Amino acid sequence: MTTEVDFYELLECERTADAGTIKSAYRKLAIKYHPDKNAGCKDSEAKFKAINEAYDCLKDPQKRAAYDRYGHAAFRQGAGGPGGGAQDFGGFSDIFESVFGEFMGGGRQGRAGPRRGADLRYDMEISLEEAYHGHQTEITVDVSTSCAPCGGSGASPGTKARTCHTCNGQGKVRAQQGFFVVERACPTCHGAGQVISDPCPVCNGEGRVDQTKTLQVNIPPGVDEGTRIRLTGEGEAGARGAPAGDLYIFLHVKRHALFEREGTALHARAPISFTTAALGGTIEIPGLDGQKHSIRVPAGIQSGKELRQRGAGMPVLQGRGHGDMVIHIEVETPTRLSARQKELLEAFRETETGEECPESMGFFSRLKTALGG
């Protein structure tokens, strides 16, 4: 199983970011994770390589367009592309063929034979706690798998396919049309290069059958909305023994009752009483790590101020450390007061000089000046 992190997520950019924003984000991260600044740290070295791969793709308009459309699969045509591994679709030549292939005669040289199975998508919903700690689970998918009786060949057990005599196993035939020579898939073997005289009765010569499979999925700590996990070879089986496709799991994180996530930061709203705001104090916030975090509230704090607990946020995906917990303070004015509380507040009001609240005092001074008073 291979976890593939979204290039935009790696560079901490929105998908709508312009070239300048992407370049600026890359430079910032490259400085942060450069091996010279993190000597001997394997995690930083891996992160540095990952952000370089992401920037190499997103800085090129053509590569970025292909990535936006096909994701990581756009560059897995051969072992030399980013991400490695053979893939039957996604390279620029494949995109060209998908647009012009039929006009040009059905495909380029070397595409004869059974084709690789299709990639599949599975959408999974997880909680923010599962995204924080990581999660191991099972999923059930309906997918075509290699036919066991014929071993995926499509031929009846004890028999085998023979070379197509029409195309001599090439899977393609050529025809002269005026000045042009046009290649098309062989009409006899339909591009397979082989003909099955005695098809397998179980799969009817397809070499694959529909089946329900249960798969183990390991979700690493720190994943975010839209993170994709690739299960290699767990997609549709290829026809007549061709390699299977991959299964892509797209993660969706449920809305949390307390926290909102922004990158590796966790944001929470904390209403406090006006006495705590005036005198200071401590509030406790339960973290996703299972601990209660004591947050010191300084005296005189105002609504809208932020308090930060370092290292109490989300873990860094495929890296070390955690983000921060950011508490947004909201001072709550009491709406239900006892007679004694009202009496105390009236006594306090009689002692006010205006200096207790310099902002409001300054506002009314400016207001008088503006009105010529």
pLDDT tens readout for residues 295-339: 999 999 999 999 999 999 999 988 889 999 999 999 999 989 999
Establish whether 13 is an annotated binding residue: no
pLDDT top residue among 218 and 188:
218
Assigned token pair, 207: 């070499």
pLDDT category of residue 363 using cuts at 50, 70 and 90: low
Quote the longest CA-to-CA distance of the chain: 106
Q: Which of 303, 255, 250, 318 is nearest to 54 (CA)?
A: 318
Q: Which phi-psi region, left, alpha or beta, contains residue 97 (left: φ > 0; alpha: ψ -120 to 50)? A: alpha
Q: What is the model's pLDDT at position 281?
A: 94
Is 2 within 8 Å of 84 (Cβ atoms)? no
**Among all chains, which residue has been given the structure tokens 């406790």?**
284
The reported pTM is 0.59
Q: Cα dist. 232→94, 116, 219, 235, 250 in Å?
A: 20, 13, 15, 8, 14
Residue 243's SS3 state is: coil
Distance between CA atoms of residues 336 and 330, nearest Å: 18
Establish whether 57 is an annotated binding residue: no
Q: Per-residue pLDDT for 139 more than 70?
A: yes
User: In the chain, what percentage of residues exceed pLDDT 90?
Assistant: 38
Assigned token pair, 77: 């045509």
Assigned token pair, 38: 């993190």
Establish whether 41 is an annotated binding residue: no
Q: Which helix (H) or strand (E) holds 95?
A: helix 92-100
Q: Per-residue pLDDT for 250 more than 90?
A: yes
Q: Which helix (H) or strand (E) holds 65?
A: helix 61-70
Average pLDDT over residues 136-162: 89
Establish whether 150 is an annotated binding residue: yes
Q: Domain residue spans in the chain?
A: 259-335
pLDDT category of residue 239 using cuts at 50, 70 and 90: confident
What is the second-level CATH architecture of the domain 259-335? Sandwich (2.60)
